[in-house]
Structures are given as C-alpha cells and as structure tokens.
Structure 1
C-alpha cells in the first residue's frame, strides 16, 4: 500500500500531460482523485479514473473546489515565448496568477483540513526553470522561481502539522504544452521547427531525450511516500541543473 491509499487528492491542469499522469498514478495507488482543468474533457477523464472532474479557471476564486484534500498537486501552467520588451503585460500577470497565485489560494484552501488530520502532502510541479533561466521565458521563469519559494514557506509552516511541501522540477516533458512551443521557439531563435527539440529543448540536458509524463508522476508518488522530505526541489531534468 502507498501512503496515498485511501486519501483524497486534487490535481490541477489534469486534462492532459503531467497532470493527467499524476491523477492516473494516484488513482492506481488507491487515492480518490479530483481533476481540475479548463478543458471540459476533464469530466470524462475523471470518470475513467473513478474520480471527480472540475472545470474551473484557476486565476479566480477556488472556493468551489473541495477543501477536504489530503494530497494537492499544483500543476496547472501555460507558456508564452517572447522577448521581454515584446511580452504582453496582461499575459505576464495572468501567467503568474495561474502558476503562483492559484497555488497559494489552493494551498490556503486545503491546509486547515490537512492540519486537522495531522497529515498532508503538497507537491508543486515547477520546472528546471524554477532554478535556471532561459531567454524569452520571463513570465514562466519568474512564476516557477516564485513557486519554489512558496513551497519552502509552506514546508516550514506545515512541518509541525504533519504536512510536507516539495517541488518536482522536470526538464522538457513530452506534453501538449511543450509541443505548442515549437513554432514560437523556431520564430524567436530564427531556426527551422525541425531543429527546435535538439537545439533548444535538449541543448543543456545531459540525457538527450524528452521525459515522459509518467516519470514525473513517479517522482510525485515518491514525495508522497516520504514524510521526512520537505522544503526541497526534486530535479528530474536529465542533468540540466548539474551544469
């Protein structure tokens, strides 16, 4: 049995990619899962997993979501590739609101229940961009750095109550979010789209392949199973941050 067996988990950005992989992994380990996404297909995906789907814009209030959550996976995120002087101001603010503000609101929403039970797991999907930077990704890098810092504060406050808070920081993962970047990356770097994966995505990775979402989900489960690991960031970036 996993430590999540019999517990209730909520995963954001769960209609595809890393979020869906995490929801599947948690459900397979016996957790009741709540999947949150803007995409309505989250309802049918949740039904397949024996869970509950919620369609919600996470840049706003989260009070409509259940608060009786034992495992929170803050995964929802978007990307926009542009130089700072051309980056849309509203887009920058919205991205920070989604990736940092929503993580704060959701954590605040579920912590009373975790504290009452004396057990809880907060897992934030950040990125190698939470500890490193890339040109043309000002909002994403700022948001992921912010989420790394927020996680550490949650770890310090949650420790006396049996709640851990950690980040999983992957490199490039084979997800729709990454695939959508190819055209933008080709444009800003002035290269053909066919060269983007090797020249941009994997340039700084020692392991020359894309990660699979299931590999990130495995890291999430590992953190859930370890009560003494908190306030840390688990790099699953193919050696990128070792340089």
Structure 2
C-alpha cells in the first residue's frame, strides 16, 4: 500500500498538532512517506523537533491553550490535522472550571482558530484538507469526562459546518473518531479511572475501556494514521462532513 501510494502528497504541506507523540507522530511519519512536507506542532518543543528531524520536516512549538495568540495567525498549509488533546477525569460537581476552560480551548477553540487561519490559503488554491481528530467520545459519552466529551461533540459540529461551507471551494473537512488508542494520553487515564471508579488498575482496561468494544484491544496509532492519511489524499474528495469511526464495534450496539 505504501509503495503504491508513495509520492501522492508530493508538493503538499501538512500541519499536525500534538505531533510529538502518539497519533500525531504516527501521522507525521506517514504523511512524510507520502511526500508531504510536515510541520510538527506541539507544546513539547524537544519532542516536536525530534519527530521533525526524523522525517525531515519542521517543528513548531505552540501552546494551543493561548488562544489569544492564535487569533491573528495566518497559516500556509494544504492539510491541517487538529489532533492535540488532553484529558481530565472528575465528576461534574468536582470539575475545576479552569481545567474545563483549558480543555475546551485546546480541543475546540484552537482547532477553530487554526482552521480559520488556514482556510484563505486553501480557498485560494482551490484544494485543502481539514481533519479533526475527535474520539468515540465525540459520538457517545462516558461518566466523569464532561469537558472532553463536550469538546469532542463540539468538534463534530465544527466539522460538519465547515464541510458545508467549503465543499464547493475544493476543501473537505472530516472527523476521525477512534476508540481507546495505545497512546500516553490513554495510558495515563488508567490510574485516574481506577481512582474515580474505585477499582484496581488491572480492571480498568477490561471493565471500562474495552467493555463496549467487540474487538478487545486498543487501537494502534498507525491504524488511525492510515485513515487520516487517506482522508488527506487525492482520492478522498467526496468524503466530507463525516465521522470516520475506528472503535472496534463500540457504536454498533
């Protein structure tokens, strides 16, 4: 598959947030193999530079929670992948409002602002791809994740709205909705879930994370990256405004 597709994104510029690890790093490597020039954006400057050096791309240290700094931004990119995310687990009545605001800024307001900054160039070129990495929690809810679920549901709405606005101008916009992916973000949740649900860490994977999945394993970052890179490519022009699910059958129930 990679040999056949090699070079299909040659000459394209791609920007991916949260690119220093997990899904973001997997996407950066895959996009580079397909010929794109990739900007790896992350708050972790060293991690972003490490991935960028590996793939011959560029690194951009950026704090997406500083939304005021993003408002006047202009981006020159053909492919924008809004992937950065954080997680916090607490009941609503105990959820810190500052944490709520920070999570919404990073996972909803920042994607809006980055998309806003990239669209003029995409419209001028008559071609563009905006891919929002949501989550199965953009479609369903789980307890104790109010900010994450709210942000990801909002990202679904932003995706659909842009798809309707941009379709006639050569720009597509899609959401990718994986279940639990084998990333540091998910691995760090295990202790939090054990604490909040008052169970052992060994029970979290079986009784919470994979309880609703027909396929009893975590999603691999490369699986998500393959789907994202297809959506970023030339054969996906009729795919827009959709939620692409990689959940092992979670939402089949």
TM superposition score category, shorter chain reference? over 0.9
Q: CA deviation at 1:138?
A: 0.2
Which residue is equivalent to 1:19?
Answer: 24
Q: CA deviation at 1:4?
A: 2.4
Q: Which residue, out of 213, 216, 219, partners 2:221?
A: 213
Over 6 Å off, 4+ runs: 63-66
> What CA distance in whole angstroms lies between the structure 2 residues aligned with 1:70 and 1:62?
18
Q: Which has the higher helix share?
A: 2
Contact 1:3 1:224 in 2 (8 A): no
> What CA distance in whole angstroms lies between the structure 1 residues aligned with 2:101 and 2:115?
20
Which residue is equivalent to 1:44?
Answer: 50
Which residue is equivalent to 1:141?
Answer: 149
> What CA distance in whole angstroms lies between the structure 1 residues aligned with 2:74 and 2:49?
15
Q: CA deviation at 1:241?
A: 1.1
Q: Which residue, out of 116, 140, 158, partners 2:124?
A: 116
> What CA distance in whole angstroms lies between the structure 1 residues aligned with 2:74 and 2:178?
28
> What CA distance in whole angstroms lies between the structure 2 residues aligned with 1:141 and 1:36?
23
Q: CA deviation at 1:3?
A: 4.3
TM-score (norm 1): 0.97
Two-structure CA RMSD over aligned residues (Å): 1.3
Q: CA deviation at 1:44?
A: 2.1
> What CA distance in whole angstroms lies between the structure 1 residues aligned with 2:79 and 2:129?
5
> Secondary structure of the residue that 1:69 maps to in structure 2?
coil
Q: Which residue, out of 236, 248, 251, partners 1:241?
A: 251
Give ranges in structure 2 of 5+ residues lacking alignment.
Answer: none
Q: CA deviation at 1:62?
A: 2.8
Contact 2:8 2:35 in 1 (8 A): no
Q: CA deviation at 1:160?
A: 1.2
Q: CA deviation at 1:155?
A: 0.6
TM-score (norm 2): 0.93
